Amino acid sequence: MMEYDIALIKGDGIGPEVIGQAVRALDAVGAAYGHAFRYKELLAGGCAIDALGVPLPTETVAACKAADATLLGAVGGWKWDGLPGGARPEAALLGLRKELGLYANIRPALLFDALSDACPLKPELTAGGLDFVVVRELTGGIYFGERGVEDAGAMGKAAYDVERYSEAEVRRIGAVAFETARGRRGRLTSVDKANVLESSRLWRRVLTEMAAEYPDVELGHMYVDNAAMQLVRAPKQFDVIVTSNMFGDILSDEASMITGSIGMLPSASLGEGSYGMYEPIHGSAPDIAGQDKANPFAAILSAAMLLRHTLKLEREAAALEDAVRAALAEGYRTPDIYTEGTKLIGTAEAGERVAEAVARHIP
C-alpha cells in the first residue's frame, strides 16, 4: 500500500466543512484503490491569528513543505477585516504561495452536463458544454509589488500598489500555459491591458516571442475588459487563458459563475516539480459557515487535482471526478446549484454521495 502525506489547512468559515468532505472523498478513493492518506492538520488564516497571533505560523509553512501536497479550504472572515494588510488572514494564503514557490495557478472551468440549468447564460451560448482553463500567475504582479500609504499634501493621503513583471516571471507562467494548451485544444488566449499598462506590453511581447517555440499552439491576445465581456458573450471560444495575478483573480470568479457556481471550481497552485497546493477558488463564506449549506464539490475536485498532478494517480483522480459527475447526474444539489426538480442536500450529504459513488464505481 502506498502512503501519502497531505498537509491539511481547513482555515476559516466554510473551510473546515468542505475540507471535511474532501477528506472523506479521498479516503473513499484510498479504500477503493489501496492507498493510505496521512493528514497533518495545520493552522493558517484567521484561526491561526486567534490561536497563535499570526496568520501564517512558521511551523505551518515547514509542515506544508515536508508533505507531498497541501489541501486548503479557505481563509478570512468579517472578524479579521479590521486588521492591517500583513496581519490579515489573506496574508497566510499569499505567504504560502510565495514561500512554496507556487507561481502557476490552474483553474479549470468545466460546466458539468447535469448543471447546464444552473448556468446563468442562455443555453445556446453553452450548448455542447463549457471546458476551459484559466492559468493565473500567482506569485508576482500587484499582489506582491511595492505598496504603501503616503502623505499627498492637499490631496490628503495617497495609497499605491505596484504592478511589476519581469521577463523571467512571464516566461515561466507562459511555459505552463503553452504546455497546458498543447495538452488540450491548442488555443491560448493571453489576457492583458497592453493598450494602457507598460507591464502588460512586456507580458504581451514575451508571450509573442514564446509562440515560436510552440508552433502547435495558436496564441491570441485580448484586453482584459474585452475578455470579461467575451466570457459571457461567447465563452466557448476559450481553451486556455493565461493572465496576471489580479486579472486571473477576477476572471476566474467570472468563469466559475458561468459554470454554475463558484462552489464548483477547484484549483491547483504549482511550482517546479510535482508539489502543489490545492484549494477551491471560493472564499470562506462566513455567512453560511457551520450551517451545512456549503458546496464541497470544488474542494473535492481540488482533491482530484491533487491526485492527478502531485501523486500521479490519474485513474483515482478520474474516479473522483466521475463520482462528482454521478452525484450531480443523480440530481443531488447543494443550495448554490439547486434548481427546481433536483434534490436539495447539505454539505455532508454531498460528500457522502461522492464517497458512495467512488465505492460503487471501482473500475
Greatest CA separation for the chain: 71
Minimum distance, C-beta of residue 262 to ligand IPM, in the bound complex (Å): 10
Annotated active-site residue 249? The verdict is yes
192 is catalytic: no
Q: How far is the CB of 340 from ligand IPM (least distance, A)?
A: 31
Query: Which residues make Cβ contacts (< 8 Å) with residue 291, sequence separation at least 6?
Result: none
Catalytic pick from 27, 68, 131, 253?
253
What does the per-residue mask of binding to ligand IPM show for 64-93, with x meaning CB under 6 A?
Answer: ------------x-------------x--x
Q: Which is nearer to ligand IPM, 140 or 283 (CB)?
A: 283
Interaction residues for ligand IPM, span 281-300 (CB under 6 A):
281, 283
The crossing angle, in degrees rounded to 10, of helices 15-33 and 314-329 is 120
By the rule CB under 6 A, 265 interacts with ligand IPM: no
Cα→Cα distances 154→110, 147, 150, 359, Å: 50, 21, 12, 68
Residue closer to ligand IPM, measured from CB, 16 or 30: 16
Q: How far is the CB of 78 from ligand IPM (least distance, A)?
A: 14
Task: Answer yes or no: are the C-beta atoms of 358 and 319 closer than 8 Å.
Answer: yes
Taking the complex as a whole, how short is the minimal distance between the CB of residue 262 and Mg ion, in angstroms?
Answer: 9
Give catalytic status of residue 98 as yes or no. Answer: no
Closest approach of ligand IPM to the CB of residue 131, in Å: 20
**Given the rule CB under 5 A, which residues bind Mg ion?**
249
231: contact with ligand IPM by CB under 6 A:
no
Q: Can you tell me which of 163, 169, 249, 336 binds ligand IPM, judged by CB under 6 A?
A: 249
Is 165 an active-site residue? no
Residue among 90 and 316 whose Cβ is closer to ligand IPM: 90
* 131 classed as catalytic: no
Catalytic pick from 4, 143, 165, 275?
Answer: 143
The count of residues interacting with ligand IPM (CB under 6 A) is: 6
Q: Give the Å distances, CA to CA, from 50 to 56, 73, 112, 183, 331.
A: 11, 17, 39, 44, 39
Q: Which residues are known catalytic residues?
A: 143, 193, 225, 249, 253
